[in-house]
Amino acid sequence: AQDTMLYLDGVSVAFDGFKALNNLSIIVRPAEMLAIIGPNGAGKTTMMDIITGKTRPDAGDVYFDGRTDLTRLDEAAIANLGIGRKFQKPTVFESQTVWDNLEMALKKPRGIFRTLFYSASGEDIARIEDILDTVRLADRRDDLAADLSHGQKQWLEIGMLLAQDPKLLLVDEPVAGMTDAETVETARLLKEIAETRSVVVVEHDMSFVRDLATRVVCLAEGSVLAEGTLDQVSANPIVIERYLGR
Ligand code: ADP
């Protein structure tokens, strides 16, 4: 449907008989941020792997952008449809400037000849400047990526994903290792991104999830245990009984 960016419909996957995902159904709307929480082993990473085509489900379907069934596509085709994934560890080009990292990310999908003879058009320059503002790096554009803080490298990598213009951004524990100030700023910038794109954030840091102020799904044993606001999820009797030990 028009109002659905991502729909996992009854997805199951087992590893050596162990059900990592068990009939998992999740919907992400256009321009919506969804936070995924849950204990270790709940299936959060496996869910991301299913969406990006790294892992194939044993059962269930994954629909993207209204209709495309992702379970029939390989990882590269899925990325090209407009799904960007940020892993926990930043992978920026340390010996390049912030600007050049973004420019390379912008060029990537254009093919070898465009890349060899490329010089940034006015439109591309405007886009990079826009991304620099979004990821709070406008004043670091000429600095080497190596000279950024850990948090700023995470932001640069988010910027590199934005350069690919994804419809859906998957973000795995973005604030791990960040300062408190960087963590607060990361919540702000992800909220800004989610004004125009769908964003799924997997996160352990509950104060950060609170800052995101968005819909939360709590996974456990490969399916949805509770969903709603963070307050609703943390007030859920099953969540309290099983994960808060009361
Ligand atoms: P989370 O990200 O919520 O911590 P995971 O998705 O990483 O959970 O893992 C869910 C379960 O599936 C875990 O018990 C994990 O050991 C198992 N698992 C995940 N990927 C594999 C794999 N490739 N092979 C075998 N077991 C796996």
Tens-digit pLDDT profile for residues 15-67: 999 999 999 999 999 999 999 999 999 999 999 999 999 999 999 999 999 77
Measured from the CA of 202, which atom of ligand 1 is nearest? 2
pLDDT tier for residue 241 given thresholds of 50, 70 and 90: confident
pLDDT, position 198 = 98
Which atom of ligand 1 lies at the shortest distance from residue 42's CA? 3
pLDDT at 112 over 70: no
Through-space distance between the first and last CA atoms of the chain, rounded to whole angstroms: 40
Mutational pocket test of ligand 1: of 16, 19, 45, 88, the residue with most ligand atoms within 8 Å of the beta carbon: 45
More confident residue, 87 or 34: 34
Long-range contacts of 175-184 (CB under 8 A, 24+ apart): 175/151, 175/203, 175/205, 175/208, 176/88, 176/204, 176/205, 177/150, 177/151, 178/150, 178/151, 178/154, 179/149, 179/151, 182/149, 182/151, 182/152, 182/154, 183/151, 183/207, 183/208, 183/211, 184/211
pLDDT at 118: 62
Question: Which residue, judged by its Cα, is nearest atom 19 of ligand 1?
Answer: 46
Q: How confident is the model at residue 242 (pLDDT cuts 50, 70, 90)?
A: confident
What was the pLDDT predicted at 121?
Answer: 80
Whether ligand 1 lies within 6 angstroms of the CB of 44 is answered as: yes
Residue 94 has pLDDT above 90, yes or no: yes
Q: Tell me the three state secondary structure of residue 131.
A: helix
pLDDT recorded at residue 114: 56
What distance in angstroms lies between residue 186's CA and the mean position of ligand 1's atoms? 27
pLDDT at 111 over 60: no
- The residue whose CB lies within 8 Å of the most ligand 1 atoms, and thus the one to mutate among 46, 217, 225, is 46
21 CA closest ligand 1 atom index: 10
Sign of CA dihedral 86, 88, 93, 99: positive
pLDDT in tens, 172-192: 999 999 999 999 999 999 999
Question: Does ligand 1 come within 6 angstroms of the Cβ of 36?
Answer: no
Indicate if the pLDDT at residue 113 is higher than 80.
no
Q: Binning pLDDT at 50, 70 and 90, where does residue 86 land?
A: very high
Ligand 1 site, residue 17, Cβ cutoff 6 A? no
Measured from the Cα of 49, ligand 1's closest atom is: 6
215 CA distance to ligand 1 centroid (A)? 24
Any atom of ligand 1 within 6 Å of the Cβ of 40: yes
Query: Hey, what domains does the chain have and what are their CATH numbers?
Result: 6-243 (3.40.50.300)
Nearest alpha carbon, ligand 1 atom 14: 41
Mean of the per-residue pLDDT values for the chain? Answer: 92
pLDDT score at 37: 95
Distance 209 CA to ligand 1 centre (A): 22
CB 34 within 8 A of CB 201: yes
Report strand pairing: 59-64 vs 198-202. unpaired
Average pLDDT over residues 196-202: 98
Decide whether any atom of ligand 1 lies within 6 Å of the 137 Cβ. Answer: no
198 CA distance to ligand 1 middle (Å): 24
Q: Which residues pair with 170 in a beta bridge?
A: 85, 200
For residue 105, CA distances in Å to 128, 185, 223 come to 10, 23, 35
What are the backbone angles phi and psi of residue 145, rounded to the nearest 5°? -55, -35
**pLDDT confidence of 122, banded at 50, 70, 90?**
confident
**What's the pLDDT score for residue 131?**
98
> pLDDT value at position 239?
83
ipTM > 0.90 for the complex: yes
**Count H helices, E strands: the chain?**
10, 10
